[in-house]
Structure 1
Amino acid sequence: MLLTGGDGYIGWPTAVRIASRTDEQVVLVDNFARRDWVETVGSTSATPVHPMAERLEAANEVHDGRSLSFVEGDLTDGEFVDRLIRIHEPETIVHTAAQPSAPYSQLSRDRANFTQHNNLQATRNLLWSLGEHGLKETHFIETTTTGVYGAPAFPIPEGGATMEHRGERDDVPFPAMAGSWYHLTKCHDAANMRLAHDQFDIPVSDVRTAITHGTETAETAADPRLGTRFDFDYYFGVVVHRFCAQAVAGYPITVYGRGEQRKPFIALEDAVEGLTRLALADPSERPADHTVYNQVARAISIVEIAETVADVANEFGLGVEVEHVENPRSEDETHAMEIENDRYEALIGGQSTSFEASVRSILETLLEHEDVIVAHEDRFLPDVLSEG
């Protein structure tokens, strides 16, 4: 099994969980680029991110993760990917590697071009290598994003849509309605995976992951060396994480605009569980087709998130206020998102982590690293990218 993005926020805890449940060799792949991207915007992970060698050693000691190994490499390099696929002939690929930030992709032409090249080239290289080596049984699982759906005024289906024209109806892929250069890469990935399934007969699971929140999973909590990263800045920190960091720093919780728009969310614990179950599914039971999963717990308004964080923060004696600021993004601030997730719910058997419990856990963790957050509190709001 290959897991790309093995150094990442979702990729690392997924790898540790998979390794704790199987004796199959799990090869992690990463080029550590996420660490550099965060550094270029003047920020850092609030929680320590240990070197990969220490992470693997801890996984072996704590979870008997001897099935984990690591290869450093760039997935945009076709020759590297071809060697990787040829040598390991994986039965499953869990593809979590990507430049994941919409704000980062919006910074400049160079960042937009980089994001599109990095994300699309990596996915195409993996798919083409599987096709060229005849690995038609390899289950290709990718975390795309619920952002491919945009903000339509109707309930979002789990994958496709039904189109009617001149009295005729047919099921079609959901149209690309992304709102950033990053999200558009996942629209293209979704289309490329569908094409690869048609041309190479590869089973594909397109896991459209919602905004993910949380600092740990059951496995990573067992040892400090196993911790995953936690970004809290404007560019790489998702809204829940940024709000929690603001509360810890005694900074006003900044809601962009009215904040009535609802966004889809899922706890890290549940996102990791979904990917793990797909990765370890018996070949006779896993999808043999092209299948889309909406990996989402529920939609929550930005204002509700801010108020929940403020309420929980008060339990810790953190007196914080919610403040509305001008929205730096172009979005409908009143969008009432509805999104279907029946297929994903059936996969994991229901969500295990409530939003309030996740916020409480995040705040507990961040209070241990208050000095790091306070030192970077100027990163909560947009600033000019450093190309250094």
Structure 2
Amino acid sequence: MSILLTGADGYIGWPTALRIASRTDERIVLVDNFARREWVESVGSTSAVPIASIDERIDAAEDVHGCSNLSFVEGDLTDRATVDRLLSVHEPSVVVHAAAQPSAPYSQINGERANYTQHNNLQATRNLLWGLHENGLGDTHFIETTTTGVYGAPEFPIPEGGATMESQGERDEVPFPAMSGSWYHMTKSHDAANMRLAHEQFDIPISDVRTAITYGTETEETAADPRLATRFDFDYYFGVVAHRFCAQAVAGYPMTVYGKGEQRKPFIALEDAVEGLARLALGDVEDRPDAHVVYNQVTRPISIVEIAETIADVSGEFDLDVDVEHFENPRDEDETHKMEIENDRYAELIGGQSTTFEEGVREILGSLVEHRGTIEAHEDRFLPGVLTEE
């Protein structure tokens, strides 16, 4: 038996693979098709932090952390035959599914990219779920990183998974309605529904990990050697807001707050995101869920303005001169929404937040000042613009 981890070349996937491998002797089979590198290149950007090849990463994991239990398979999960081979050969006891086209802005560029995103993300998840069923692996714990974006921005506290609905005096727990705001986020709403269906029909144990906006440049394991670094995107399409703001600060470029910026978004440090996935993957067999469980992988909501102000405050420690400028918001959203989101189940899983947002910003800026040249060479990618041809 083994643990199968998809999206292993990605921002969350790679450090999760390292953490799992460092805590078990079980074989960890990594899968990726390197599409993330191609998507970022297609929008004219690159990772601020240099990332090694997968072979170099695996060699470094053994050299530095003694992880001799990592192996890699290059494969496209939208191809059903590829997925069937992976599952039948390796017979995983756990699947950590972190592979996806993860960018909402990328999915919104045009119809071609919207179609690609939905086909890529939904087909991969369906192939894995049906593959487990048809290969007799119905006891395999299926863990997927979806997104808190499936909830949209309701005016009431967001539950950790379902919601209570009342009609004609009767009450029941129902799945939270899909209120996603992009073609990407809608893929994760569909994935959530398909995972629920797979549990009901096939009895596959499911952990739906609804990942918040994740920030940070490193984890304990990746910080040990430059060859182990995970990627760090900072462009408009693939760089999350905290990362883009930090890169703008390093480049001496004004931080671009869209609209009022008072809306709060859910956030989590990379360290805390990786820890939760590792604990779910490595839970004792007898403790693994036999149900469908939703985790809100978030530590706290933060407003866009607070993000900018925190980065501006910390930037002084690195002799950076930072300005905050407000621009017209290209997104249709409530710029004053005060999001509340429950996370009790996830907080219990990881034992509480490991780092504050300010500490995370300090770590990010400390890393990025070493790669100022790369950021400055691509500062035209901070804002949406003309894309390179694919």
* TMscore range, shorter length: over 0.9
Looking at structure 1, the residues matched to 86 and 258 of structure 2 have their Cα atoms a distance apart, in angstroms, of 43
Tell me if 1:375 matches 2:377: yes
Alignment of 1:240-319 (within 5 A): 240-319=242-321
Looking at structure 2, the residues matched to 34 and 381 of structure 1 have their Cα atoms a distance apart, in angstroms, of 19
CA deviations over 1:112-149 (Å, ceiling 9, x no partner): 00000000000000000001112121000000000000
Looking at structure 2, the residues matched to 152 and 76 of structure 1 have their Cα atoms a distance apart, in angstroms, of 33
1:178 corresponds in structure 2 to 180
SS in 2 for 1:369: helix
Looking at structure 1, the residues matched to 385 and 332 of structure 2 have their Cα atoms a distance apart, in angstroms, of 17
Tell me if 1:43 matches 2:45: yes
Q: CA deviation at 1:328?
A: 1.1
Q: How many aligned positions are there?
A: 388
Consecutive unaligned residues in structure 1, runs of 5 or more: none
TM-score, scaled to structure 2: 0.99
Alignment of 1:144-293 (within 5 A): 144-293=146-295
Letter in 1 for 2:100: A
Q: CA deviation at 1:315?
A: 1.7
Consecutive unaligned residues in structure 2, runs of 5 or more: none
CA contact (8 A) 1:9 1:229 kept: yes
Q: CA deviation at 1:237?
A: 0.1
Q: CA deviation at 1:334?
A: 0.7
Looking at structure 2, the residues matched to 365 and 178 of structure 1 have their Cα atoms a distance apart, in angstroms, of 33
Q: CA deviation at 1:387?
A: 2.6
Alignment of 1:28-39 (within 5 A): 28-39=30-41
TM-score, scaled to structure 1: 0.99
Letter in 1 for 2:279: R
SS in 1 for 2:200: helix
Looking at structure 2, the residues matched to 319 and 369 of structure 1 have their Cα atoms a distance apart, in angstroms, of 17
SS in 1 for 2:5: strand
Letter in 1 for 2:262: E
CA deviations over 1:340-359 (Å, ceiling 9, x no partner): 00000110110101100000
SS in 1 for 2:92: coil
Looking at structure 2, the residues matched to 65 and 332 of structure 1 have their Cα atoms a distance apart, in angstroms, of 46
Percent of aligned positions that are identical: 77
Looking at structure 2, the residues matched to 318 and 382 of structure 1 have their Cα atoms a distance apart, in angstroms, of 24
Q: CA deviation at 1:165?
A: 1.2
Q: CA deviation at 1:386?
A: 2.4
Q: 1:321 aligns with which of 310, 320, 323?
A: 323
SS in 1 for 2:154: coil
CA deviations over 1:226-283 (Å, ceiling 9, x no partner): 0000000000000000000000000001100000000000000000000000000001
CA contact (8 A) 1:85 1:129 kept: yes
Looking at structure 2, the residues matched to 387 and 67 of structure 1 have their Cα atoms a distance apart, in angstroms, of 39
Q: CA deviation at 1:285?
A: 1.0
Q: CA deviation at 1:286?
A: 1.9
Letter in 2 for 1:211: I
CA deviations over 1:283-326 (Å, ceiling 9, x no partner): 11122100000000100000000000011011211111110011
Q: CA deviation at 1:33?
A: 0.1
Tell me if 1:77 matches 2:65: no
1:88 corresponds in structure 2 to 90
Looking at structure 1, the residues matched to 151 and 4 of structure 2 have their Cα atoms a distance apart, in angstroms, of 28
Q: CA deviation at 1:99?
A: 0.1
2:127 corresponds in structure 1 to 125
SS in 1 for 2:266: strand
In the TM superposition, structure 1's runs of 4+ consecutive aligned residues that sit over 6 Å from their partners are none
SS in 1 for 2:194: helix
Q: CA deviation at 1:379?
A: 0.3
Letter in 2 for 1:331: E
Looking at structure 1, the residues matched to 332 and 316 of structure 2 have their Cα atoms a distance apart, in angstroms, of 32
Looking at structure 2, the residues matched to 377 and 384 of structure 1 have their Cα atoms a distance apart, in angstroms, of 14
Aligned-pair RMSD on alpha carbons?
0.6
2:62 corresponds in structure 1 to 60
Letter in 2 for 1:123: T
Looking at structure 1, the residues matched to 133 and 126 of structure 2 have their Cα atoms a distance apart, in angstroms, of 10
CA contact (8 A) 1:76 1:122 kept: yes
CA contact (8 A) 1:211 1:265 kept: yes
Letter in 1 for 2:108: Q
Looking at structure 1, the residues matched to 244 and 313 of structure 2 have their Cα atoms a distance apart, in angstroms, of 15
Looking at structure 2, the residues matched to 326 and 314 of structure 1 have their Cα atoms a distance apart, in angstroms, of 27
CA contact (8 A) 1:107 1:385 kept: no
Q: 1:340 aligns with which of 336, 339, 342?
A: 342
Letter in 2 for 1:263: K
Letter in 2 for 1:348: I
CA deviations over 1:24-77 (Å, ceiling 9, x no partner): 000000000000000000000000110011000000111111100000000000
2:106 corresponds in structure 1 to 104
SS in 2 for 1:217: coil
CA contact (8 A) 1:92 1:139 kept: yes
Looking at structure 1, the residues matched to 79 and 102 of structure 2 have their Cα atoms a distance apart, in angstroms, of 19
SS in 2 for 1:284: helix
